[in-house]
């Protein structure tokens, strides 16, 4: 789906286990020179690949945290000339892949258009991407926005996570934060940005009052 001239999204759903369904999303961010960056590859359909290859010149594939990497190999097989980016921890975990760059702000060469922002203090080593022109923040597990999902176990788990039928930071995500003071530095950083859209890996895109929604979610978990 085209969000605007710089942001495209592709959605799927996975059954984590019986009666627990989770939506997943990959985001493609376009640069002004026409090149694109794919964030969190999913199990794309053939129709998805046709659209990607015809409309989006993907030059970079980003695995933004320790948990969103299952379809990087497939994406690389389809996009053989794309460069692979991962954190040091993920590159060690997925040493079956040849990673081109460590995903760090100091290594990122496209910072004039898209900023890489580490989530400090977290054990999943998540990196967010902020597209400056699109005023769009792309996250993986920082915030969920799940509504009316099917499956009884889905309801049970999302109730336990505190993410049922609302945009929220999950209790699970909060548990991965080992240094709350460091995370507050990250929270201050992202809340200083001009954010109009939040695209997350799980749930509905937030395109109205995005910064306010994120602020309320952080407050609900006492993270600011």
Length of the chain (residues): 224
pTM score over 0.85:
yes
pLDDT of residue 185: 97
Per-residue pLDDT tens digits for 25-39: 999 999 999 999 999
Q: Measured between alpha carbons, how far is 22 from 135 in angstroms, rounded to an integer?
A: 26
Per-residue pLDDT tens digits for 137-173: 999 999 999 987 777 778 888 899 999 999 999 999 9
Asked if residue 174 lies in contact with residue 168, where contact means CB atoms within 8 angstroms, the answer is no
pLDDT of residue 148: 79
Taking residues 111-134, what's their average pLDDT? 98
Q: Measured between alpha carbons, how far is 167 from 170 in angstroms, rounded to an integer?
A: 9
pLDDT of residue 94: 97
Taking residues 107-135, what's their average pLDDT? 97
Per-residue pLDDT tens digits for 191-201: 999 999 999 99
Percent of the chain with pLDDT over 90: 90
Model confidence at 122: pLDDT above 90: yes
Model confidence at 10: pLDDT above 90: yes
Cβ count within 10 A of residue 64? 28
Q: Does residue 128 or residue 151 have the better pLDDT?
A: 128
**DSSP letter (8 states) at residue 6:** S
Model confidence at 109: pLDDT above 80: yes
Q: What is the mean pLDDT of the chain?
A: 95
pLDDT of residue 21: 81
pLDDT of residue 17: 76
């Amino acid at each position: 789906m085209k969000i605007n001239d710089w942001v495209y999204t592709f959605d799927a759903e996975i059954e984590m286990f019986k009666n627990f369904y989770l939506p997943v999303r990959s985001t493609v961010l376009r640069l002004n020179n026409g090149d694109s960056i794919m964030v969190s590859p999913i199990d794309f359909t053939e129709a998805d690949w046709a659209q990607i290859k015809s409309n989006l010149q993907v030059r970079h594939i980003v695995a933004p945290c320790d948990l969103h990497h299952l379809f990087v190999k497939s994406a690389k097989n389809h996009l053989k000339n794309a460069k692979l980016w991962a954190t040091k921890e993920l590159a060690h975990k997925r040493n079956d892949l040849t990673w081109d760059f460590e995903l760090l702000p100091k290594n990122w060469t496209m910072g004039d258009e898209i900023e890489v922002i580490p989530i400090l203090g977290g054990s999943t080593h998540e990196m967010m991407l902020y597209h400056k022109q699109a005023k769009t923040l792309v996250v993986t597990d920082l915030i969920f926005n799940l509504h009316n999902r099917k499956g009884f176990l889905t309801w049970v788990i999302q109730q336990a996570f505190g993410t049922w039928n609302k945009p929220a930071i999950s209790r699970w995500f909060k548990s991965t934060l080992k240094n709350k003071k460091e995370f507050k530095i990250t929270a201050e950083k992202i809340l200083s940005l001009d954010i109009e859209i939040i695209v997350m890996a799980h749930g509905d895109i937030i395109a109205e009052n995005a910064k306010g929604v994120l602020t309320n979610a952080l407050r609900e978990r006492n993270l600011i």
